[in-house]
Amino acid sequence: MSKSIFREYDIRGIFQKELNENIVKKIGYYFAKELIKKVPNASFISVGYDARLHSIELKNWLASGINHAGLKVLDMGMVPTPVNYFSNFVDFNGLSSNGSIMITGSHNPPEYNGFKITINKNPFFGEQIYSMGRDILKDDSTIPDNNTTILINAKERYIDYIVNHFKDLKLEGKKFVFDCGNGVAGVVLREILDKLNIKHHILFEQPDGNFPNHHPDPSDESTLVDIKKELSTGKFDFGFAYDGDADRIALLSKKNNFKGDILAIFFSKFIENPVVIGEVKCSQVMYDTINTYGKAIMYKTGHSNLKVKIKELNASFAAEVSGHLFFNDRYFGYDDAIYATFRALELIDKNFDFDSEYDALPKVYSTPEINIKVTEDTKFKIIDDLKVALQNPPRYFEPIKDIIEVDGVRVIFDKGWGLIRASNTTPKLVTRFEADTQAQAKIYQEILMKLLSSIGEN
């Protein structure tokens, strides 16, 4: 068993090599025992799975562990991750879950799989996962097979909810292209679009854990080649692309690919007195713009972190640059790319001009996310050393206006900022830089990387 599968936001590893029958059964067992402790009258855990070739086998192992602990599994079959979250808020003919497990490898390569977990409608993450992992690694017992589950139709309930919520959309004369990337968005998308009479063309709709057409990660520009090609024909007004488990979205016009922080600006304009939470990688343009008519708060990266913060502050909305979008004004506060699609279509219905609104924003240059490989043992120490070094920066450094340490270090300069943070899920440092010009962003990148190198040498 490898402790590395127990990560900050979820459990993830390579099928059989790391996620084998023994460990997966124990994940089901120990999570069920934890749920019983937190919710003494707990009866059910709802379980769904994505398109990965090994997801059903993992579900059977997981069910054996849950049943062994004395709880029962509400089995929703193959669904997007947001449908799994949704199951926590719905009663299924008298059956309601007290926690959920989504079996998904998200946007990882095909050999990976994993589990996104909630308990009492809240993320199960951080120390909760690490503690459970320690207990599992100490346990040498064997759990018997018992993959009995109770089938529920969460997919149908979710589709009905979305259709009812957006039944007033009127998009006659418009047509949209959608790229499901052979993930699970296609399990629900077509039926919703048909019921709402929205004209559509869907790429790679069929779930296929081999991902034969492209990697299911819309934050990677190289995966958007096909949808951009369709948009270039002029036949479609907008394009939407999804990751493997449909909790992240990319929204594209013929001209632009709108990242999560820009979409946060657009959506917040239609929320009264919006309180918006962004992660540390979000553009300063997002924070400055929203603060002119609402309140924008910077917080840690990570979908679990943002879900907890949005509930703590009862915020309207939260966003990650990568396309995790969390609506809490008319929804449940979790990241749902399908729901976000129809909120975007709602803006299109209101004749919101995405391209013009984008062009009107202050012009800045932002680098993509730049990753630096380090070791699991050193990544947080490097950040601590960097914080110390920034207290007395070298002569070549640009003047520092502020340092934000909510997640790594975000150094604010006169004309932009630079971010260096330790990834919570992989052995790497994550960096991003932004300034009023590309040349200035390059300067911020160079000086921070130079300081980082000097730390590595010491």
Active site amino acids: 12, 106, 324
Q: How far is CA 145 from CA 25, 135, 453, in A?
A: 9, 21, 52
The closest alpha carbon to 19, from 1, 31, 7, belongs to 1
Specify the length of the chain in residues: 458
Q: How do beta strands 275-279 and 112-119 pair?
A: unpaired
**Cβ neighbours of residue 143 closer than 8 Å, sequence gap 6 or more:** 22, 25, 26, 29, 64, 65, 68
Tokens matching residue 199: 């004209």
Q: What share of the chain is helix, strand, coil (3-state, %, to 5)?
A: 35, 25, 40
Q: How do beta strands 112-119 and 11-14 pair?
A: antiparallel
**Three-state DSSP class for residue 352:** coil
Cα 22 to Cα 131: distance, rounded to the nearest angstrom: 18
Cα 428 to Cα 374: distance, rounded to the nearest angstrom: 5
The closest alpha carbon to 9, from 429, 307, 342, belongs to 307
Q: Cα-flanking dihedrals φ and ψ of residue 202, to 5°?
A: -110, 125
**Cβ neighbours of residue 23 closer than 8 Å, sequence gap 6 or more:** 1, 5, 136
Tokens matching residue 365: 């240059």
Contact 366, 283 (CB under 8 A): yes
**DSSP alpha helix (H) spans, 76-125:** 81-86
Beta bridge partners of 277: 297, 318
**Cβ neighbours of residue 91 closer than 8 Å, sequence gap 6 or more:** none
Contact 275, 313 (CB under 8 A): yes
Residue 28 burial class via C-beta count within 10 angstroms: exposed 0-12, middle 13-18, buried 19 and up: buried
**Unique residue bearing structure tokens 């006659």:** 172
Cα 410 to Cα 448: distance, rounded to the nearest angstrom: 11
